[in-house]
Amino acid sequence: MLFAIDPVPAINLLAARDQMAFTLGFHIILACLGVALPTFLLIANWRAIRSDDADALRLARRWTRIIAVTFAVGAVSGTILSFEMGLLWPGLMGRFGAAYGIPFAIEGIFFFLEAIFIAIYIYGWDRLSPWAHLLSGVPIVIAGFGGTFSVVSANAWLNQPAGFTLDAAGNVTAVNVVGVIFNNATWYEAAHMFLAAYMVSGFLLASVYALGRLRGRLDRYTRLGFVIPFAVAAIATPLQIGVGDIAARAVFTDQPIKFAAMELVQKTGPDTPVVIGGVLVDGKVVGGLVIPSLDSLLAGFNTNTVVQGLDAVPIDQQPPVNVVHLAWDTMLTMGFSLLALAAWFGLAWLRRRDLPTSRWFYRFATVAGVAAVVALEAGWVVTEVGRQPWVVYGLLRTSDAVSRAPGIVISFVVLLGIYIVLGAATFIVLRSMSRQGAAEARAADTPYGPSQ
Amino acid sequence: MTSADVVALVLWLGVSTYAVFGGADFGAGLWDLLAGPTDQGEQPRGLIDASIGPVWEANHTWLIFDVVILWSAFPLAFSSLMSTLYIPLTLAAFGIILRGAGFAFRKYTSKLAGRRAFGATFALSSVITPFFLGSALGGIASGRVPAGNAAGDPWTSWLNPTSVLVGSLAVAAGAYLAAVFLVAAARRRDEPSLEAYFRRRALAMGIVAGGLAVGGLGVIGADAPDLAAGLAGRALPLVGLSVVLGSASLVLLARGATRGIRAVAAGAVTAIVWGWGLAQYPSILPGSLSITAAAAPAGTLDALLVISIAAALTIGPSLALLFVLDGRSRLEAGH
Ligand code: HDD
Ligand code: HEM
Ligand code: HEM
């Protein structure tokens, strides 16, 4: 056992966890954009060619520039993550890399394809024939799908490790790749993440045009820019809640302690209540709305369903309960609020075949993107913090995985500085692009054809 | 040959491809840095921008490919080297993020001050990143990375003669390749003055890189005798090949040749990377870990072979398409 010597300094563990969480939380937003924006782009591009639609064409060009920036930042922030697997968690990679690493190797193929075809698409405007150009965008969408599936399968493996054999000393001696990739948590996590990507990107992109509308831009360009992403995100929302429900039941059976933390269940038993809001202080629930027996009913369709409580495991195997619980409530709140907004949109469309006219709708739509991002981050906090103290559920503690190298704190602080500047610069560049866009929207645009 | 050896070959293929294409993209950043004040540097910077713009992200992905193969196939080697060499590798990671973001932001920024700041970020980080990556490799090659969680010295593992040599060589070789590629790009665009500009720089940097490589053998002899023995022994043909190809590319450059320089120059760099691999075979971390001892179970290795074949079948043609379109100027920095 090469990795079992004296304990690591606690500060290393703290810094490494914070650094990991921060860089993942940053990357995931760009990853969502990388997965879903190309779909919106292709829809606009397709309309532009099919119906010779100059507004759709201008949108497609605009969105291409956005993707060029977000993809570059996504690619480099993803690279940092892959370095961090070794820089921060050598104990995880050394022991389980043979299994946990495989989905990432598959993901590598999808990244490659994505990077190649994004380049062809971005630089192919005006150079390739319109249909060939549109076609070059299709692999980007497929690669985004495959990439999400593989990387999330790696995360699902941390929650439901499978597909390997351990010897007495805990070393991996045999690996079954199919078992690794298609572990118990893969399906629902991948579906949930994929839909999240469409919700986050759709609501974010639409919010730009919702704001435009509030500022008095009622032209067709703004309208189209709103409808394409918003409609896709609105369709994804109820599906997302359905998948989330399946996920919750899977967590209930497979990761009962995570579920107990999500729902603030302290004692194992039937008739467990749902607690909305509220925190656990010294073993007592403080604040929050308590609905008796509902938790048992939701988990097993019967109030007699026994729900495991935190008391089922010693305290050193429990996650930070309040963080998980509040993150869980946050995700649900955002999810159902977005569902209401999507329903508003859907009803207006069914009744009048038109967009809602109320300014309130557009006010809410302006913040819907941020709400989706909040749900996304909260969901990941539920998954990752809820898994603690394990990095590989039930098999490897996070504290045994962390690097023994001194100075992780320093790298975390420097990284924080770099990311703050990077985030701000990304925002400024994107905003200046959308300003230019608004200005150009008033000028006429050249239709298809070589730009020279 | 075991399946671990085959996966190691795939890994080396990935490393040498990254050294050539990723290295050249970093090298282009060095020329950007040295292109002078805004007006004077506008033309070379424009060429650099247009020629690495469409390909740098794809070229960068070779690094990801190498990392994921390494951590799945040789988990213990990955965790040991990342944790011992965490200082240069953290710095390289910072360099990578600043380089990519700086480049992308410069392209989409219209204000001059902003373009300058992003451009400088891009150019500076293009120089430091290959240095740190190279110095980490130097630490491995000279046997300073033992197996274990941060088991090696965090400083001397990469601050030592071999590391400094390999780091500098990485910068110089990348800059050399970049200049050679830019000569071709300038010719394609019918820009004779730019072609001459980069030809001069390619010649100068080729001499620097060659000098470093040849002189470096002495440094390695004194600092890392085992590596030196390997280079002078089993790997000698590859070292020789590199010298021949390197000299040939200089001759071609000096004569103003138009064809084949890129392949010859890339061959010189590839031969060095393979020479290093052969010199330390069958070790993955010389002095402490062999390829066999580090290898993952058979199930993983087989899966990685299948993945590599799938990668070759999908990525190969796609990359070819990208380079062909790029070469025919079907990809342009329009909006
Ligand atoms: C737009 C984002 C979004 C929205 C609206 C929702 N979620 Fe979610 N949720 C995520 C985005 C997300 C995620 C992408 O952040 C997570 C983290 C890991 C994962 O698989 O998806 C997640 C995790 C996650 C988990 C934990 C899975 C695990 O730990 O294995 C559960 C149980 C749910 N979600 C359930 C729901 C329910 C019942 C929702 C209904 C309102 C909901 N989510 C809305
Ligand atoms: C699919 C991709 C992901 C993988 C493979 C992954 C893997 C990991 C690993 C290895 C750790 C460190 C060990 C641990 O603390 O358990 C970690 C921690 C963490 N991750 Fe993830 N993660 C993924 C996605 C995300 C995303 C998108 C977020 C968004 C915020 C996130 C949030 C966190 C947090 C908050 C922690 C710290 C948990 C704690 O220590 O309390 N993860 N993750
Ligand atoms: C659920 C979590 C994640 C999703 C959905 C995701 C998705 C993506 C996507 C779509 C890209 C392409 C770049 C872009 O579109 O902007 C990307 C880039 C990248 N991601 Fe992630 N990612 C996730 C988490 C991670 C984690 C945990 C790692 C590493 C351990 C990682 C490593 C990378 C790398 C190395 C790249 C760069 C690839 C390139 O050069 O093209 N990602 N990610």
Q: What is the pLDDT of residues A251-304, one digit of tens each?
A: 999 999 999 999 988 888 888 888 888 888 888 888 888 888 888 888 888 888
Tell me the average pLDDT across A42-54. Answer: 91
Question: Which of B83, B314, B319 lies at the smallest CB-CB distance from A403?
Answer: B83
Average pLDDT over residues A5-29: 85
Tokens 């590391």 appear where? B163
Contact B147, B288 (CB under 8 A): yes
> Quick one: pLDDT at residue A304?
84
Res A247 pLDDT > 70: yes
Residue numbers of chain B with a pLDDT score lower than 50: 333-335
Token match 């038993």: residue? A269
Tens digits of per-residue pLDDT, A320-351? 999 999 999 999 999 999 999 999 999 999 99
pLDDT of res. A292: 84
Burial label, B296 (beta-carbon count in 10 A; 0-12, 13-18, 19+) = buried
Closest CA to A285 of A266, A303, A304, A308: A266
Q: Is the ipTM of this complex over 0.90?
A: yes
Question: Is the CB of A118 less than 8 angstroms away from the CB of B331?
Answer: no
Name the more confident of A442 and A421.
A421
d(C-alpha A123, C-alpha A324), whole Å: 44
Cα separation, A29 vs A200, whole angstroms = 8
Mean pLDDT of chain A: 89
Which residues of chain B have a CB within 8 Å of the CB of A101? 68, 71-72, 75, 296, 300
User: What are the tens digits of pLDDT across the range B84-135?
Assistant: 999 999 999 999 999 999 988 888 887 888 888 898 999 899 999 999 999 9
Tell me what pLDDT residue A445 has.
38
Mean pLDDT, residues A403-421 taken together = 90
Quick one: pLDDT band at residue A311, thresholds 50, 70, 90? Answer: confident
pLDDT exceeds 90 at position A198 = yes
Cβ–Cβ under 8 Å, residues B238 and B274: yes
Q: State the pLDDT confidence band at A443, using cuts at 50, 70 and 90.
A: very low
**Could you tell me which of A361, A371, A86, A393 has the C-alpha nearest to residue A202?**
A371
Query: Per-residue DSSP letters for A238-284?
Result: HHHHHHHHHHHHHHHHH-HHHHHHHHT--S-BSSPPEEES-EEETTE
Phi first, then psi: give them for residue B177, nearest 5 degrees: -60, -45
Other residues' Cβ atoms within 10 Å of the Cβ of residue A333: 16
- At residue A440, the pLDDT reads 59
pLDDT tens per residue, range A109-140: 999 899 999 989 988 888 888 898 999 999 99
Token pair recorded at residue B303? 């899966």
Rounded to whole angstroms, the Cα distance separating A89 from A93 reads: 7
Sequence-distant (≥ 6) Cβ neighbours of residue A192 within 8 angstroms? A240, A243, A244, A247, A379
Predicted pLDDT of residue B330 = 60
Cross-chain residue pair B311–A108, CB shorter than 8 Å: yes
Q: What is the pLDDT of residues A72-107, one digit of tens each?
A: 899 889 999 999 999 999 999 999 999 999 999 999
Q: pLDDT tier at A4 (50, 70, 90 boundaries)?
A: very low
CB contact residues (below 8 A), chain B span 58-87, against chain A: 58, 60-61, 63-65, 67-69, 71-73, 75-76, 78-84, 86-87
Contact assessment for residue A307 and residue A295, using Cβ atoms and an 8 Å cutoff: yes
Atom of ligand 1 nearest to the CA of A336: 41
What is the CB < 6 Å shell around ligand 2?
A 17, 20-21, 24-25, 28, 89, 92, 151-152, 154-155, 158, 377, 380-381, 384-385, 387-388, 391, 398
For residue B40, with 0-12 CB atoms within 10 Å meaning exposed, 13-18 middle and 19 or more buried, which class applies? exposed
Split at pLDDT 50, 70, 90, the class of A45 is very high
pLDDT at A442 over 70: no
pLDDT at B332: 60
Residue A313: which residues within 8 A CB-CB, separation 6 or more?
A: A257
Size of chain B, expressed as the number of residues it contains? 335
pLDDT at A101: 94
More confident site: A316 or A392 = A392
What percent of chain A lies above the pLDDT cut of 70?
94
Q: pTM value?
A: 0.92
Q: Tokens 């001759």 correspond to what residue?
A: B251
- Per DSSP, the three-state class of A58 is helix
- How high is the pLDDT of residue A315? 86
